[in-house]
Structure 1
Amino acid sequence: MWFTRFKQDFSLLVMPWLFAVIFPFLGRLILLFSYVDAENRLHYQHDVWQLLVTGLRFDIRIATLTFGSLLLFSFFTLFSTKFTRQWQKLLTLINPILLMVIALFTLINIFYYITYDRYIDVFIFGLLDDDTTAILKTIWSDYPVIWAVLGLTLLGYILAKLCRSWQYWVIKSITKTTPNWLALPACLVAVALIVIGCRGSIGTFPLRESDAQISSYAVLNKFVPNGVIAFDWAYKAYKNNNKFMDIPLKESQQALATFFQQTQPNDVTIFMQQTAANPVADAHPPHVVFAVMESMGSHLFRFDNPQRDLYGSLRQHWQQDWVFNRFVSEGDGTIDSLNRFFVRSPIDKISQSSAQNADFISNMFKPFKAKGYKIVYITAGNGAWRNLNRFLPHLGVDEFVEQNTLKEAFPDATISTWGVPDEYMFKYAEQRLAQAEKQGEPIMIMMMSITNHPPYQLPPNHPYHPYSFTPQELTRLKNMGNEDEIRTMFNTFSYSNDQLGRFISWVKAQPLGSHTLIAATGDHNIRGIGYPDPAELMLSHAVPFYLYVPTTYQYQTLYDKTRIGSHKDIMPTLYQLALSSTPYYQTGCNLVALKLDSPWCNVGYNPYVTINQQGAYALINNTFQPWQDDTGLLVKPVTTMNEEQQQTLARWQSWSLLLHWQLNQQISTDKKH
């Protein structure tokens, strides 16, 4: 009789197990047919097959972990009719709930890809770590929340009905007894199937994250994991993101030797350098302004034309001053890029971690503090975001200015989802520069804008441009919403650029303009557009780097717009221009040096793609794509690497490890003291 009850429990779980496989598989098909055109599906048909097979294995693994564990638990109820009946009633409640969870994660994974061009990853926990209320407002504004809730509610109702009907049919239909000599082997087979299903593999290793790499066409790899397994990977990464474990000595030594191509001591002091003597900066230290602009990606600038002005007041400065276009952000999120600037941290939670109070020798402000600069950080957003209002003063920021300070200084400023409009940040910077000039003290100002961020909202009292788009442009930008939503996004992008341009114009018009350096870059490329075309590998991470250097301070410099770089190069460039004979932590290149001769130079580093004068290297996929032309941002198809290119790939893959190593070294050294 016990095996009859087991057969009933097994059957009760078969139907929800099947749905648990079907839901994410359908989600994968939706992504595949929405974001891979027929031509590429045909060209990569073998990889598409691998996608479906491997994806199905991941689905089976999650379904078996979910419902197989319930079957194993049912063994404890088999020898009591009373307990079995109670368990079976409970299953009719548990099964639809678990199916709803799987359906929900499938839906989240689809919209996550639409927004971020990848499956669920650690950035999803920004809902907890960022301004939760603001993010929820963004979700409410940008996604069909009501329809999703209604659809899931209807699905839950249907599943509940199906599970009850299925239970009634199973208990009524499965009543025949089975002899023990057949029952016991059948149970063992069931257990073995559960084990295999939970592993997703019959090989040595269970199905792992690395198994998601099934194609050289990176888009297909992003569809392999289902929402639940992707969230599990993200959660593990999130937990590990707050841990600072030592990298084995042998591993770090190998990485150092690979990067520097010679043996190096296992000590972060190898990164300590000193700027060259600069008599101009010695005689009159310049003010330094560094603006990090929200989502100022290179891609949207490509949509500028005579009928669609996306530069505004910035255009004249873009044409007159120094701009590097073959340039990538080091992080792909705001806090990721900022913390890499602040302390060279590849861990984006460093400002909220147990190490937030460490004495980082990589602290970007230390060289300026050593030369007597007053440090001011201005954000148009909320100062408590990511604990920056505590972290930055610890790093030496003398004045921390955020949305409430700006609102107090400019009562007409309105606080929206993420903060006040960018113009007030720039107005405050103007006042602070004027004050520093009057007091005769050098000042270093770092700014973080927020207006060009979803939900896109043009500040009041600013003209709304009725931009028009071609059908091809609307198709290319369809992930960003309908035509009105795309138009609003272009308006906020243009607004922020214009406000930056107005600020630069103000500086240049003042006497202080003759001794003020201005640098600007994007924190990351605008997210959500999607980059399924392999030719756009680099474009998806591209941001510009703008630099205004008054003629007097162009001492021992050379501007070559074809030079290649990334965020790692901005501070070394500013240090060399502004600080004479000053120690600094070198993990980048002076982009305007007369001669580029360090291992950091003419390379743009991002953890996913690294670029040099030959082309773009996908660090995750181990591939190389040469440039299509001498100055553009598009690349050709994957080609076989020569020995030099293989060394370049290996060098910058090792740098990803060394970034973690050097951070760990700093933290562990600080703890010893």
Structure 2
Amino acid sequence: MAIDWARKDYQNQTVLKPVAENDLKQAMERVIGQSTPIYKTPKNAYLESNHPNVVLALMESMGTNFLVDDDARANDLLGNLRPHFSQDFLFTRFQAGTSGTWDSIMMMLTQSNTSNISQSAYKKVKLESLATLPYSRAGYEVSFVYAGASTWRNSKQYLLHQGFDHFYDHDDVLKQFPEAKLTDGEWGLADEYAFKFTQHLLDNSEKPQMIFIMSLTNHPPFKLPSSYETKPTSLSSRLKALAMNEHSETLLSEQTYQYASNSLGNFISNIKQDSKLGSNTIIAASGDHHMRNMNMDMKSEYAISYAVPFYLHVPEDILKNVPHIYDGKRIGSHRDIFPTLYHFSLSNQNYISLGGQNLLGQKVDNIGFNQNRVITENGAYDRDRPQDLYQWQEDALHTKDEPVKNPMPNFSREYSQLQSMYIRYLINKS
């Protein structure tokens, strides 16, 4: 595996040429409406004296293309996450930034669409765009929790060099929970232990925590912990038609999907019920990308195919002190997650984003960007055929089968170009 990674690393070496600052400013003005990627959260007296913990869980393959088949009685894909989806904020018209795990992490954390910089000659260049830097400046302890190998994509070395205080991996989780060894698989330990470890960090912290969790159980080869009792799952006629795997494997992937959701749900329940953590811990969760091995070109599911949910729990004391508007039909994508979190946790703090917005703010642009497919208030369109727009059906989730002319066909291309320009500018700035 190490040799294969080295070979791919060598093949994927990219030369990131400098970009003139004026050219970058013009591109930003055109695409995100301002010549700088710097924004600032409002001054908030409550947040200045109350620094909430912030936990962001990126869930392996939590794709909407599976979730639309969720049924509490016949095909339970949420488990103990279900009540929280009902109680808290949930956005379903929401796109993953990319179709790859590390790609999505890098895009969220650094604004970059060039994920292999963590394994390239540029891996030691510190990026001022790191999404966790506002938390570091505010006195937070910043950690990454991944119950797999820290050598994956050079993730530990890269993130620690960028500014994370800690990177906890398979071995760290196992030291705290030796019984997790029974769940060890090809990618690492079962998700429940990543969440238990995160709660352990929160329970024993002396500073406010910003914790990024990457789950892994819902990844092939699919494996359930032997101690887990599955709730009902079944293959719908839709899934049988769209899935490219054997039906037995697809059914097992529904069960690992359920297990991962259930583990997240248990974690949220534990935090909410904790007398110390319940009132000061924000929890956000989304999928890293769609569920793979599915037909992605079904016209009625043009918006669903690359979609992931975005869940957000904000304690009541914070909601009382931070103005917000909730509309579950608002559109967004991964680029909006950190700006949303900033506004509920940081006062008067600068941050960097390429157009990401607070989804609970006064007004949003309603654009969900994915490298392959974009959704807007008008509908969904593909990067390869941006002139064809598939309009929304009445449920505001499915799309119509026949396309119309797209009124904004250039956004996907221009936004990707802006991402490329920005990372080239940052890499060469120092």
Would the TM-score normalized by the shorter structure come out above 0.5? yes
Structure 1 residue 321 corresponds to structure 2 residue 88: yes
State the partner residue of 1:624: 389
State the partner residue of 2:376: 612
Structure 1 residue 422 corresponds to structure 2 residue 422: no
Partners of 2:409 and 2:3 in 1: how far apart? 34
State the partner residue of 2:103: 336
Farther off after superposition, 630-639 or 367-376: 630-639
Partners of 2:21 and 2:52 in 1: how far apart? 42
Give 1:547's aligned amino acid: L
> Does structure 2 retain, via aligned residues, the 8 Å contact 1:321–1:547?
yes
- Unpaired runs of 5+ in structure 1? 1-124, 133-234, 265-269
Give 2:363's aligned amino acid: K
Give 1:308's aligned amino acid: N
- The alpha-carbon deviation at position 275 of structure 1 amounts to 0.9
Partner of residue 405 from structure 2, selected from 622, 637, 640: 640
What is the count of residue pairs matched by the alignment?
A: 422
Give 2:414's aligned amino acid: S
Structure 1 residues 560 and 663, CA gap change in structure 2 (3 angstroms): same
State the partner residue of 1:14: none
For 1:519, what is the secondary structure of its paired residue? strand
Partner of residue 481 from structure 1, selected from 246, 250, 258: 246
Partners of 1:548 and 1:530 in 2: how far apart? 32
State the partner residue of 1:539: 304
Partner of residue 528 from structure 1, selected from 279, 289, 293: 293
> Does structure 1 retain, via aligned residues, the 8 Å contact 2:98–2:372?
no
- The alpha-carbon deviation at position 534 of structure 1 amounts to 2.2
Partners of 1:585 and 1:127 in 2: how far apart? 36
State the partner residue of 2:215: 449
Structure 1 residues 506 and 261, CA gap change in structure 2 (3 angstroms): closer
Give 2:250's aligned amino acid: I
Partner of residue 656 from structure 1, selected from 411, 416, 424: 416
Find runs of 4+ consecutive structure 1 residues off by over 6 angstroms: 248-251
State the partner residue of 2:17: 245
For 1:514, what is the secondary structure of its paired residue? coil
Partner of residue 298 from structure 1, selected from 60, 64, 79: 64
Partners of 2:149 and 2:226 in 1: how far apart? 20
- The alpha-carbon deviation at position 525 of structure 1 amounts to 0.5
Give 1:430's aligned amino acid: Q
> Does structure 2 retain, via aligned residues, the 8 Å contact 1:339–1:350?
no
- The alpha-carbon deviation at position 309 of structure 1 amounts to 1.5
Structure 1 residues 573 and 468, CA gap change in structure 2 (3 angstroms): closer
Map 1:236-385; keep pairs closer than 5 Å: 239=11, 242-247=14-19, 252=24, 255-260=27-32, 264=35, 270-305=36-71, 306-385=73-152
Give 1:615's aligned amino acid: G
Partner of residue 514 from structure 1, selected from 261, 264, 279: 279
For 1:539, what is the secondary structure of its paired residue? coil
Structure 1 residues 249 and 619, CA gap change in structure 2 (3 angstroms): farther
Give 1:455's aligned amino acid: P
Give 2:331's aligned amino acid: I
State the partner residue of 2:360: 592
> Does structure 2 retain, via aligned residues, the 8 Å contact 1:379–1:425?
yes
State the partner residue of 1:551: 316
Partners of 1:638 and 1:127 in 2: how far apart? 46
Structure 1 residue 469 corresponds to structure 2 residue 243: no
State the partner residue of 2:200: 431
For 1:668, what is the secondary structure of its paired residue? helix
- The alpha-carbon deviation at position 379 of structure 1 amounts to 0.4
Partners of 2:22 and 2:210 in 1: how far apart? 40
Indicate the structure with greater strand content. 2
- The alpha-carbon deviation at position 617 of structure 1 amounts to 2.4
> Does structure 2 retain, via aligned residues, the 8 Å contact 1:516–1:549?
yes
- The alpha-carbon deviation at position 296 of structure 1 amounts to 0.3
Larger of the two Rg values belongs to structure: 1
> Does structure 1 retain, via aligned residues, the 8 Å contact 2:145–2:194?
yes
- The alpha-carbon deviation at position 256 of structure 1 amounts to 3.8
Structure 1 residues 246 and 569, CA gap change in structure 2 (3 angstroms): same
Partners of 1:388 and 1:353 in 2: how far apart? 12
Partners of 2:123 and 2:15 in 1: how far apart? 12
Partners of 1:466 and 1:504 in 2: how far apart? 22
> Does structure 2 retain, via aligned residues, the 8 Å contact 1:538–1:635?
no
For 1:354, what is the secondary structure of its paired residue? coil
Which structure has more RCO (C-alpha within 8 Å, separation ≥ 6)? 2
> Does structure 2 retain, via aligned residues, the 8 Å contact 1:258–1:651?
no
State the partner residue of 1:576: 343
Give 1:432's aligned amino acid: L
- The alpha-carbon deviation at position 473 of structure 1 amounts to 3.7
- Unpaired runs of 5+ in structure 2? none
For 1:576, what is the secondary structure of its paired residue? helix
Structure 1 residues 423 and 460, CA gap change in structure 2 (3 angstroms): same
Give 1:314's aligned amino acid: L
State the partner residue of 2:225: 459
Partners of 2:64 and 2:298 in 1: how far apart? 16
Structure 1 residues 465 and 550, CA gap change in structure 2 (3 angstroms): closer
Partners of 1:390 and 1:577 in 2: how far apart? 30
- The alpha-carbon deviation at position 450 of structure 1 amounts to 0.3
Partners of 1:614 and 1:238 in 2: how far apart? 42
Structure 1 residues 261 and 338, CA gap change in structure 2 (3 angstroms): closer
Across the aligned residues of Structure 1 and Structure 2, the Cα RMSD in angstroms comes to 2.3
Structure 1 residues 668 and 470, CA gap change in structure 2 (3 angstroms): closer
Partners of 1:282 and 1:259 in 2: how far apart? 33
For 2:148, what is the secondary structure of its paired residue? coil
Map 1:112-123; keep pairs closer than 5 Å: none
For 2:79, what is the secondary structure of its paired residue? coil
State the partner residue of 2:269: 505
The alignment's TM-score, normalised by the length of structure 2, stands at 0.92
- The alpha-carbon deviation at position 261 of structure 1 amounts to 6.0
Q: Deviations over 1:10-59 (max 9, x none)?
A: xxxxxxxxxxxxxxxxxxxxxxxxxxxxxxxxxxxxxxxxxxxxxxxxxx
The alignment's TM-score, normalised by the length of structure 1, stands at 0.60
- The alpha-carbon deviation at position 260 of structure 1 amounts to 4.5
> Does structure 1 retain, via aligned residues, the 8 Å contact 2:63–2:287?
yes
- The alpha-carbon deviation at position 334 of structure 1 amounts to 0.3
For 1:363, what is the secondary structure of its paired residue? coil
Partners of 1:523 and 1:607 in 2: how far apart? 13
Matched-pair identity in %: 33
- The alpha-carbon deviation at position 297 of structure 1 amounts to 0.5
Q: Deviations over 1:558-596 (max 9, x none)?
A: 111111000000000111110100110022011111233
Q: Deviations over 1:519-551 (max 9, x none)?
A: 000000011112232222222210000000111
Partners of 2:234 and 2:384 in 1: how far apart? 38
Partners of 2:274 and 2:238 in 1: how far apart? 44
Indicate the structure with greater helix content. 1
> Does structure 1 retain, via aligned residues, the 8 Å contact 2:390–2:399?
no
For 1:569, what is the secondary structure of its paired residue? helix
> Does structure 2 retain, via aligned residues, the 8 Å contact 1:413–1:424?
yes
For 1:655, what is the secondary structure of its paired residue? helix
